[in-house]
Amino acid sequence: MEIIQGLTTVLTSPMLMGWILAGAITGMVVGAIPGLTTAAAIAMVLPLTFFMEPLAALSFLYVIGKSGRYGGSIAAILFNTPGTAAAAATQIDGHQLALQGKASKAMKVATISSVIGDFIGDIILILAIGFIASIALRLGPPELFSIYFAAFILIGTVVGKSIIRGLASAFVGILVSMVGIDPISAKERLTFGLMELTGGVSLVPLMIGLFVLGEVLSQAEQCTSGSKNQDMPPNTRDNHLLTWSEYRSCVPHVLRSSLIGAVIGMLPGLGSSIAAFIAYGVGKQRAKNSDQWGKGALEGVAAPEAANNAVSGPSMAPLLTLGIPGSTIGAMLIGVFLIHGITIGPTLFITSSELVYTLFACGLVGIVFYGLLGYFGAAKVGQLIQKIPAGLMYPLILLTAFIAAYLFRGSLFDVVVMIVFGVVGWLMRKFDFSPAAFVISFVLAGGAEETFRQSLRLSEHGMLIFFTRPLALAFLVIGLFGLAYRIRGFFRDRSAS
Amino acid sequence: MKYVLQKDYIPAAALVAMGAAGVWTSLHIELDSLEGWGARVFPIFASVALCALGVLEFLKTSFAFEVNDEKVFPSLRPWFIIGLTLAYIWMVARFGYHLSTALISPAIFATFGIRSPIFLFASAVLVPFFFHVLFFELLGIFPPIAKWFDPFVMVRGY
């Protein structure tokens, strides 16, 4: 089996193991810092990976994504500030446990649940991806365009608080991606006479601006320069240890939540935070001790953490088979694939099957690494981060973002792009738009336009081709159904309030 | 009766403006060799969608139950940082990376509340040094070329 071969490659390569360990540490630390997202960290280190071998670069970033999803729980439990959006579900019970002097116990539950969820997600990915790729090979331009359409609608309506602003974020992403030279007719579009824009807006500086500078500006608006000191009751020996009898009641929640996370991970645009909250909600409904949830139930930490990390592996499925990122991190990985000359899509499994399965193997090893680091070291990471003043951290992040944007192509214009989209990212956060929907749509728009125009060339009846091909029609209906469902939910919530 | 400008009208106006600008710019995209609108379709579609969403947002705000009159920009600090970043890139283009970073680092740290003169002076020396070693020496990146003069280049002799 290719995965066994991949594991052998990884375990016999000290360099790869080193990069996976670096990714596990980086992701955990970054995820644990409130206000610094894993996406921001990946955006900043992405230019550094240009100097690395493709597999080392991909494995480093992939493991940062996995480990970062887990790392968010550290800040959520210790500082009552989730390090990632998904960790907001962990925060509900996690911080209550910390206030009861059980921070270490809570973090151990989070670690074990994340590891189990991540493993289950990865196993589902490894078993299912060959099948998904074989189906994807049979899809033509009309079907692919319909999938893109459904992805845009789902991303725009589910991500973020407002349907209108979520969709608007997606359409702004589409519009920005149109800048440059049209690949079919070679006409300039939206370049405003600037030669630097004829190649389009570069993804890397855009992401650094949106996720790093945008976040720094948001934090600057709120922050003080002090450190995040909180008085916590000390951990007693009993509260430091986690026994099997305590964790046993979490197991059904972990297994259920892992499946929830895996299914949601396969759907583009939904992501970890939705999986975590759905898992928390379902878990609370089915729990025998539901009255304890919200007051410091260990199960209330286990469920969202398992779901959160179970998203990681399956979110690679639409990315690798269709080129549709399932998450912001996936959108960034597309950039890495492109830079290293690897074409993603269904033919990836024909041309680079070994690379793909070795990447999955790197993910499995990465889970082991962050699991061990987290189980024995999460508390120490949290204490260290607590001591770093925001006034020291954010300026360094800002200065690093500058050089990271310049690093991409050695162009100061990219730094200008970074600043522009930094302001855009800040304003998007301020007015409840969705930077995630923006960047995913930005990445997808080129493929969507290409398949749309190819479909029209294939068709004898114009746009009717999307309605006469059953699979294409099915995906269009899924997208519209998703929109209708969300709108219905919005009006229902509004009338209830 | 005093009129309160709702915060939520701002994104509505921005969306309509962006959409209108997108439509106008898209209509100026050249037609392809067969006089087709191929290259215009997606930009126009996205722009029209933005206009429509902006109008919907405007209507939603107008009929909202609660007035959202919170201050849009409670702090000037982000604007100051944006100004510093623009000044930084202007300086890098003219004086090179090292001098510009030495000047801007203390300003950025001070903006985030660090006031110790010793720390600020140390940042002016250590930050450019650290980034120089990491990016220009270890990774071998070529630093930006200064249009006016670069003291670092003058010191190194090339």
Is residue A66 within 8 Å of A363, Cβ to Cβ?
Answer: yes
pLDDT band at B2 (very low <50, low <70, confident <90, very high): very low
**pLDDT at residue A171, as a whole number:** 93
| Residue A380 or residue A26, greater confidence | A26
Report how far residue B132's alpha carbon sits from residue B144's, in angstroms, rounded to the nearest whole number: 12
CB atoms B105 and A399 under 8 Å: yes
pLDDT band at A76 (very low <50, low <70, confident <90, very high): confident
Asked if the model's pLDDT at residue A16 lies above 90, the reply is yes
| Nearest Cβ partner for B144 among A175, A178, A406 | A406
A363: Cβ–Cβ under 8 A, 6 or more apart, which residues? A59, A62, A63, A66, A118, A122, A312, A313
Q: Count contacts between A and B (CB, < 8 Å).
A: 156
Tokens of A15: 């360099």
For chain A, say whether B48 makes contact (Cβ under 8 Å). no
pLDDT band at A435 (very low <50, low <70, confident <90, very high): confident
For chain A, say whether B22 makes contact (Cβ under 8 Å). yes
How close B2 comes to chain A (CA, Å)?
24
pLDDT tens-digit series, residues A193-249: 888 888 889 888 898 898 889 888 988 887 644 444 445 555 555 556 778 888 889
Contacts of B105 in chain A (CB under 8 A): 395, 399
Q: How many CA atoms lie within 13 A of A228 on its CB side?
A: 20
Average pLDDT over residues A330-337: 82
| Residue A437 or residue A119, greater confidence | A119
**pLDDT at residue A29, as a whole number:** 87
Average pLDDT over residues A474-478: 85
Instruction: Specify the pTM.
Output: 0.80
**pLDDT at residue B3, as a whole number:** 47
**pLDDT at residue A131, as a whole number:** 81
For chain A, say whether B13 makes contact (Cβ under 8 Å). no
| Residue A28 or residue B148, greater confidence | A28
DSSP secondary structure of A386-422: HHS-HHHHHHHHHHHHHHHHHHHHT-HHHHHHHHHHH
Report how far residue A259's alpha carbon sits from residue A244's, in angstroms, rounded to the nearest whole number: 22
Average pLDDT over residues B130-142: 83
ipTM of the complex: 0.90
Report how far residue A79's alpha carbon sits from residue A95's, in angstroms, rounded to the nearest whole number: 7
Angle at B96 between CA B90 and CA B98, to 5 degrees: 115
Is residue A95 within 8 Å of A290, Cβ to Cβ?
Answer: no
User: A231-245, A358-372, B112-126: lowest mean pLDDT where?
Assistant: A231-245
Average pLDDT over residues A74-80: 82
| Nearest Cβ partner for A171 among B33, B53, B78 | B53
Tokens of A388: 């770093």
**pLDDT at residue A33, as a whole number:** 78
Contacts of B63 in chain A (CB under 8 A): none
Residues present in chain B in total: 158
DSSP state of A185: T
| Residue B4 or residue A123, greater confidence | A123
| Residue B42 or residue B155, greater confidence | B42
**pLDDT at residue A239, as a whole number:** 59
Asked if the model's pLDDT at residue A407 lies above 90, the reply is no
Report how far residue A461's alpha carbon sits from residue A420's, in angstroms, rounded to the nearest whole number: 42
**pLDDT at residue A227, as a whole number:** 43
pLDDT band at A423 (very low <50, low <70, confident <90, very high): very high
**pLDDT at residue B70, as a whole number:** 66
**pLDDT at residue B156, as a whole number:** 66
**pLDDT at residue B46, as a whole number:** 93
pLDDT tens-digit series, residues A298-314: 999 999 999 999 998 88
Average pLDDT over residues A350-370: 91
**pLDDT at residue A495, as a whole number:** 67
**pLDDT at residue A225, as a whole number:** 42
For chain A, say whether B114 makes contact (Cβ under 8 Å). yes
Asked if the model's pLDDT at residue B125 lies above 50, the reply is yes
| Residue A243 or residue A412, greater confidence | A412
Beta strands in A231-270, from DSSP E residues, in sequence order: none
